[in-house]
Chains A and B, each alone.
Chain A
Amino acid sequence: MLVGRDAPKDDLVIRGARAIDPVERIDETIDVRIDEGVISEIGLRLDANGHRVIEAEGLVLAPAFVDPHVHLRTPGREDEEDLASGTRAAAAGGYCAILAMPNTDPVVDSAAVLGALVERARTEAEVPIGFLAAITRKQEGGELTEMIELAEAGAVGFTDDGKPVEAPALLRRALQYLSAVRRRLAVHCEEQTLSRGGHMHEGAVSAELGFGGYPSIAESLMVARDLGIAAYENQPLHLLHLSARESVDELRSAQAAGVQATGEVTPHHLCGTDEDIRTLDSNLKMNPPLRAEEDRRALVDALRDGTIVAVATDHAPHARHEKEVPFEAAPFGVTGLETAFSVLYTRLVAPGVIKLETLLERMGPGPARIYDLEPPRIAKHASANLVLLDLETTWRPTETSFHSKSANSWLLGETLRGRVALTVADGRVAFEG
């Protein structure tokens, strides 16, 4: 269940854009008319009918994005992000829906906590939010949450993100129980005795810089275990923020064996490597860590061939003072909602590494399907969830350029090509650049 601010829907005509919808197989210059938030007409030289007209020659019109992995820090750390700022950031990044992780304070592990969030979203969310609930109470790995009640209260899925489900028997119970609820289970794969003390990927760079290593095997071992349990229970399973090539291999072979497994990858893991850590910039510290170039290439290949179906930002805002410390003392996590499309366009699409259509599919319909959400699309009678992209413009993210309350971006000062010009989310203009 996605929850957004109650507000009147918009009437619009978007004229002259190059419309691309990889699922609907559209790639042509065409007009789109929206009546009360619903796409009413797609065609050439559509009448304004008194609607607001957006002249979009030279821009790309695409299904808006869905981010399956956002930390909104609410409740508990509203100084870092809240529902309003996080969804404004999402709108500025071209998203028409985001899914919020439950590792807040308190954890979203009861219908009461979830209910309060849903109520707030009805007045504050600029774009609709889907809330995930915890698998275990307080995310402590001990007892299961009341999943049926949470699902009825609106949970779109379940995860203990930030932590693995340590006990295999508990993960098995959760999968069994969820088959009655029909919600997706998402797992953070980390074997914590292997990742303990790790600040970055274990390899030549960590050896040289002296950081405790967080080896790839700490992720891939847990990926293999969790996929094994999902296969045994014949239940679907979603793997959060994959970072290692060995994990991709595990996912690919599980899918080939018929396991209903999906995976997501972040923009930073698709673009960055452990070599970048040499600057000791604490905005490059995240969990899982940036890995080696071969890992990055494996992730790009997996996104291209569909082994990984979704780009997820893992947007993790942190207060400025928490990141202004030596790298070793800094918390894990970087922001990403407002730069995801731009950096992936700049680093992967513009140089010809992946096709624009592929990226658009993995940022919108792909993530929506994981959680059985209505995919955004350019189609008559569909709710208007659209993004207008200016692929020619260049810009530089700076500390003051974000709608998010936090600026711990790994891209500060970088020059990016391509930017969101307009976002229509659930039939409303949510952002205009």
Chain B
Amino acid sequence: MADVHPLIRDELLPPGPSPRRHLISIADLSRDDVERLLGLARTFARSLDRDVKKLPALRGRTVVNLFYESSTRTSSSFELAAKRLSADVMSIKSSGSAVEKGESLKDTAITIGCYDPDVIVIRHPEIGAPHVIARHTGAHVVNAGDGKHQHPTQALLDLYTIEEELGHIEGLHVAIVGDVLHSRVARSNIQAFVLMGARVTLVGPPPLIPRGIEAMGCEVSYSIEAIEAADIVYVLRMQHERMLAGENYVPSLREYAARWGVSADRVRPGQKVMHPGPMNRGVEIEGAVADAADALIARQVRSGVAVRMAVLFDLLTHGPVELKVAEIEAVA
């Protein structure tokens, strides 16, 4: 057999295989990593404004989306991001797959690993699922949400949206409002905002603010008035599906909405409002606020594609993202 020559040679890539990298937690990233990813996202966003939106960058690469929880935004934008970069995409949902026959996550990982995917994007209801995938496959793993732990691409697209809108992140004051206890978005975003030099205040009913969370570098207030001083009001969804039955985190949604709902009379003009979706209008956010000109909610969704393109591209090319591989493999 003749020597195999690469069909495409990108002179910008360093020679040889790069070490296997993952994006599992914002805690794995340095500020430089975030800056680089946001810069890449800006480049890709420009390409998305063209009539022909496809780039050849990841031609011949395979991305598997493995979703164990329902998702509209995240799964569709990962799929679109991979397609815009010319990668082959395979989307697997737990319903209708071998998972329903009782297959373990490890065995699903090994099975998918046999197809040699370059990237596995995983969403799973249990904390640590991306680590299991990383241990049992040779793919780069992107965490698209694991239980209440992390959702790093959401945090990156939020940073991107803010930077596009306000020009900077450093020095901003962000109020994160609502059900922090059950929110992986909150955890990734606290880390991301603090990393980029923003001030973060968590606002919500005491049972939904986890004890000890101040250690992440944020402040806590139980009063909705605390959002007044913020440049950005980041509203979290009430996550009924993650709450233990009968735990009485709040006595009623009516009382929650009345005390902590982000309503028009609680938002200043010029204050930007964000929400990771899906929204419960009339619970954590009033419809009028969600639809107002200062709401960045649709722009967040739009940023998702460019940011996820940046993440996929960065993982599969070069870049000194701090590796957690050693740690993961030590456990294995």
Q: Chain A residues in contact with chain B, CB under 8 A?
A: 196-197, 199, 202-213, 215, 279-282, 321, 324-329, 413
Q: Which of A197, A211, A282, A327 has the most CB of B within 10 A?
A: A327
Tell me the smallest distance from the CB of A54 to a CB of chain B, in Å.
Answer: 37
| B residues in contact (CB < 8 Å) with A | 104-106, 124, 126-129, 131-132, 146-150, 184, 187, 210-216, 244, 247, 327, 330-331
Nearest CB of chain A from residue B126's CB, rounded to whole Å = 4
A/B interface sample: 23 pairs, CB < 8 A: A197-B244, A197-B247, A202-B211, A204-B212, A204-B213, A204-B215, A204-B216, A206-B210, A207-B210, A207-B215, A209-B149, A210-B127, A211-B127, A213-B210, A213-B211, A215-B211, A279-B327, A280-B127, A325-B126, A326-B105, A326-B124, A326-B132, A326-B146
The answer to whether B211 and A210 have CB atoms under 8 Å apart is: no
Which of B128, B146, B330 gathers the greatest number of chain A CB atoms within 10 Å? B128
Separation of A326 and B132 alpha carbons in the complex (Å): 6
Complex CA gap A413/B128 in Å reads 20
Q: Which residues of A contact B149 (CB under 8 A)?
A: 209-211
Given contacts A210-B148, A325-B132, contact A202 B212 (CB under 8 A): yes
With known contacts A326-B129, A328-B147, A208–B104 Cβ distance under 8 A: no
Name the residue among B213, B215, B247, B331 with the largest chain A CB count within 10 angstroms: B331
Chain A positions within 8 Å of B124 at CB level = 326
A residues in contact with B126, CB < 8 Å: 325-329
Q: In the complex, A65→B147 CA distance in Å?
A: 42
Measured CA separation A196–B124 after assembly (Å)? 21
The distance from the CB of A236 to the nearest CB of chain B, in whole angstroms, is 35
Q: Which of the residues A196, A202, A204 comes within 8 Å of B244, measured between beta carbons?
A: A196
Cα–Cα, bound, A195→B279 (Å): 31
Query: Shortest distance in angstroms between A304's beta carbon and chain B's nearest beta carbon?
Result: 28
A14–B128 Cα gap in the complex (Å)? 50
- Top 10 A-B pairs, shortest CB-CB distance: A210-B148, A204-B215, A204-B212, A207-B210, A326-B126, A326-B128, A207-B213, A280-B128, A327-B128, A328-B126
Please tell me if the beta carbons of A210 and B184 are within 8 angstroms of each other in the complex. Answer: yes
Question: Are B127 and A327 interface neighbours, CB within 8 A?
Answer: yes
What is the distance, in angstroms, from A187's C-beta to the closest C-beta of chain B?
25
Chain A contacts for B150, CB-based, 8 A: 210
**Cβ of A207: which chain B residues have Cβ within 8 Å of it?**
210-213, 215-216
In the bound complex, how far is the Cα of B104 from the Cα of A230, in angstroms?
46
A319 to chain B, nearest CB (A): 12
Give chain A residues whose Cβ lies under 8 Å from the Cβ of B212: 202-207
- In the assembled complex, the Cα of A281 lies from the Cα of B127 at a distance in Å of 11
Q: Whole-angstrom distance between the alpha carbons of A53 and B154 in the complex?
A: 69
Out of A211, A279, A329, name the residue touching B148 (CB < 8 Å).
Answer: A211
| A281–B327 alpha-carbon span in the complex (Å) | 10
Cα separation A326 to B145 with both chains bound (whole Å): 13
Which of B106, B147, B216 is packed against the most chain A CB atoms within 10 Å? Answer: B147
Minimum Cβ distance to chain A for residue B209 (Å) = 9
Collect the chain B residues with CB atoms within 8 Å of residue A326's CB: 105, 124, 126-129, 131-132, 146-147
Are the C-beta atoms of B331 and A279 separated by less than 8 Å?
yes
